[in-house]
């Protein structure tokens, strides 16, 4: 089940909305932390919910491999299995399959590749991907698609979008969970005409929402935005649009300008594990020596567990000591920042102030570059 209502329209193609799914209603634009194996790394689901996150994304391939989708279904579905009160989306597993198999593992039937855990030969077809996601019981599933590596020859990308469209139709025909929405995926690399063709073909099949995949994989920001711009006009105006794998605040603002509603990325938690934090004063690297005696919070205006309870000096010590608590606390901080940022992004869209928010983010980048140069 999926219903999407546009609640405000801002500059260019930006908009705010309410995305109603079976388990929760999500305010958009929204960011989905990656809980690939039913958890955001180092952060239990209840702590993620406490940071203001409404929706997360899990991965069908990883959960198929461990613990298996059948035990999760027997436990009452993914929401009960991981005790998550919000909405959940699942990735089809196609990106992981392509990462392992490469072009040589792709055929009309799907992907043939070896499990990264057991070495067992696996076959992920469109029907199998949907079956796995039906068993998981997420609020929204995604079709199996072929994410072509960058750069790629236009001829091959054209073949891939046709195959992805055929797979999308098979996924729709195989989908059998009436409580679960199914999203089509647009591919096409950095080729504008192929992006438009893929979007039109996917829209013709008809889905409740649409994802734009195969971007943020090495192409320039200009190429990424141009590809999104080419796809959006071919998609239904009243359906949600999910920009896959895009996660920097500046990039999300730029994509929202061009009509994107949903985002996911490992960036905030991966960066946190390496000591890179986001604050409203700009990025902060907790590993720097200057923070070893700094008794201030990471961000005095943040109410995450790290900022509420601990100093920069203590967090610096935990990270330098390799303590697992540092992973959790720093990750929760970045997750809270992203939740607060998306709230400010929604307000900026509704009030027509995207340029102000974008200028603020751009100033962070300049300050961080200047600081890095002074450290060299």
For residue 127, count other CB atoms closer than 10 A to its CB.
17
Query: Is there a catalytic annotation at residue 264?
Result: yes
Q: Under DSSP, is residue 221 helix (H, G, I), strand (E, B) or coil? A: helix
Three-class SS of 270-330: HHHHCCEECCCCCCEECCCHHHCCCCCCCCCCCCCHHHHHCCHHHHHHHHHCCCHHHHHHH
Angle at 257 between CA 255 and CA 260, to 5 degrees: 50
Distance CA 17, CA 30 (A): 9
Token readout for 327 is: 């992973």
- The residue from 91, 139, 145, 261 that is catalytic is 91
Q: Which of 272, 295, 293, 292 is nearest to 284 (CA)?
A: 272
Kindly list the distances between the CA atom of residue 216 and the CA atoms of 156, 179, 243, in Å, as whole numbers in the listed order.
Answer: 19, 31, 10
Query: Is there a catalytic annotation at residue 145?
Result: no
Query: How far does Cα 248 stand from its chain's mean position?
Result: 11
Distance CA 138, CA 43 (A): 20
Cβ atoms of residues 149 and 217 within 8 Å: yes
Beta bridge partners of 59: 91
Question: Alpha helices of the chain — where are they, by DSSP H?
Answer: 45-50, 60-65, 69-74, 78-82, 94-101, 126-136, 154-174, 192-205, 221-231, 249-257, 267-273, 305-309, 312-320, 324-351, 354-375
Query: CA torsion sign, 68 to 71 to 75 to 76?
Result: positive
- The residue from 145, 261, 264, 299 that is catalytic is 264
Question: What DSSP string runs through 172-189?
Answer: HHH---TTSEEEEEE--T
Distance CA 219, CA 215 (A): 7
Catalytic residues: 91, 264
């Amino acid at each position: 089940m999926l219903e999407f209502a546009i609640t405000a329209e801002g500059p260019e193609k930006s908009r705010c909305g309410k995305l109603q799914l079976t388990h929760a209603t999500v305010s958009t634009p929204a960011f989905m932390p990656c809980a690939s194996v039913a958890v955001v790394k180092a952060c239990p689901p209840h702590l993620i919910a406490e940071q203001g996150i409404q929706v997360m994304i899990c991965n069908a391939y990883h959960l198929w491999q461990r613990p298996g989708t059948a035990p999760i279904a027997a436990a009452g579905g993914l929401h009960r299995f991981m005790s998550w009160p919000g909405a959940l989306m699942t990735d089809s597993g196609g990106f992981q399959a392509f990462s392992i198999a490469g072009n040589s593992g792709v055929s009309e039937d799907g992907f043939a590749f070896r499990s990264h855990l057991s070495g067992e030969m696996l076959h992920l077809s469109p029907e199998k991907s949907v079956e796995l996601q039906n068993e998981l019981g997420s609020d929204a599933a995604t079709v199996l698609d072929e994410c072509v590596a960058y750069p790629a020859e236009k001829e091959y990308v054209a073949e891939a979008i046709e195959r992805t469209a055929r797979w999308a139709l098979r996924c729709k025909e195989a989908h059998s969970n009436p409580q679960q929405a199914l999203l089509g995926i647009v591919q096409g690399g950095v080729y504008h005409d192929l992006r438009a063709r893929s979007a039109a073909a996917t829209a013709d099949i008809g889905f409740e929402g649409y994802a734009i995949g195969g971007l943020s994989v090495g192409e320039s920001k200009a190429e990424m935005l141009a590809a999104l711009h080419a796809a959006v006009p071919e998609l239904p105006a009243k359906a949600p649009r999910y920009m896959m794998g895009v996660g920097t605040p500046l990039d999300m603002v730029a994509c929202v300008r061009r009509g994107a509603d949903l985002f996911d990325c490992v960036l905030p938690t991966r960066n946190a594990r390496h000591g890179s934090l986001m604050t409203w004063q700009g990025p902060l690297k907790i590993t720097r020596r200057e923070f070893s005696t700094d008794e201030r919070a990471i961000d005095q205006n943040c109410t995450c567990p790290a900022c509420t309870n601990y100093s920069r000096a203590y967090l610096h010590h935990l990270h330098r000591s390799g303590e697992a608590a540092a992973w959790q606390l720093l990750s929760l901080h970045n997750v809270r920042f992203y939740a607060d940022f998306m709230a400010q992004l929604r307000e900026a869209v509704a009030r027509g102030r995207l340029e102000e928010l974008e200028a603020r983010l751009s100033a962070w980048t300049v300050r961080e570059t200047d600081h890095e140069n002074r450290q060299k």
